[in-house]
Amino acid sequence: MSLIKSKIYSLGLKTAIYISVIGGVILSSTRVLAASFVPGSIDTNTTLSLTVRQNPFLGGILPPLVFPGDDWAATFFITETQGNILGYDTLSIDVVLRHLTDPHQGEDGGGGQIRLNFFLDSTNARGFQKTVSDSDFAFHPPGRSHVDRARGVLTANITTTPILNTSDISSWTLELDASHNVPEPLTMLGAATALGYGALLKRKYSENKKS
């Protein structure tokens, strides 16, 4: 059995194909799509900012795309589905993100797991683009006042064929930002005061109701 690795350039699309061959018969092939990180990512102990781009949209399940940062780690699970000649394309991206470092005194073991989910199709696009967003957070031990937050915006470029009433995703970009937050003392004091005032009003209301 021999393993042949070849790169095929067809119709201007760069595709890497791994083919297992026995006696000249192709057993299986896996296409590796070209989603990649845009240069200029920011990875610090309190913030993360990165962009993933796929151009062109080819269709298929991409291998997990991993961002191995020093302070943050993110894995992108991407599925592209090309519709038939009379259909539309769909794009699904699931992101698993975690803060690795402890930027503030007393923190231990990194943050919790953050999950973002994006789904987009090529129908009903306005201005030849379509956008979806998602956000999530996770507490960063030891206290629940230490929070890691993340938000992403997925934008797809859409091409349409009005005569056939079809639409296609031509390319897409996912912008992801995350931050590690600890409330300021005044903010925490204000929240505690509001909670105390709310409890006082509730007790006063209960006394009035009894009387």
Encode pLDDT of 89-140 as tens digits: 999 999 999 999 888 877 878 899 999 999 999 988 877 999 999 999 999 8
Please state, for a pLDDT cut of 90, what percent of the chain lies above it: 47
Sequence ranges of the domains in the chain: 1-32, 34-182
Residue ranges of alpha helices (H) inside the chain are 185-210
**Positions of E strands within 34-146:** 36-37, 42-43, 47-54, 60-61, 65-68, 72-81, 90-99, 113-121, 129-139
Q: What is the C-alpha to C-alpha distance for residues 132 and 137, in angstroms, rounded to an integer?
A: 18
**Mean pLDDT, rounded, for 131-156:** 93
**Mean pLDDT, rounded, for 141-164:** 88
**Mean pLDDT, rounded, for 44-64:** 93
pLDDT computed for residue 33 by the predictor: 55
Q: Report which of residues 211 and 28 the model is more confident about.
A: 211
Least confident range from 95-104, 146-155, 171-180: namely 95-104
**DSSP-assigned beta bridge partners for residue 81:** 90
The mean predicted confidence, pLDDT, of the chain is 76
Nearest Cα neighbor of 4 from 15, 20, 16 is 20
Least confident range from 79-83, 109-113, 167-171, 193-197: namely 193-197
- DSSP characters over 95-109: EEEEE-S--STT--S
Please state, for a pLDDT cut of 70, what percent of the chain lies above it: 70
Is the pLDDT at 54 greater than 80, yes or no? yes
Q: Tell me if 60 sits within 8 A of 31, measured CB to CB.
A: yes
CA distances from 99 to 12, 66, 104 (A): 39, 14, 12
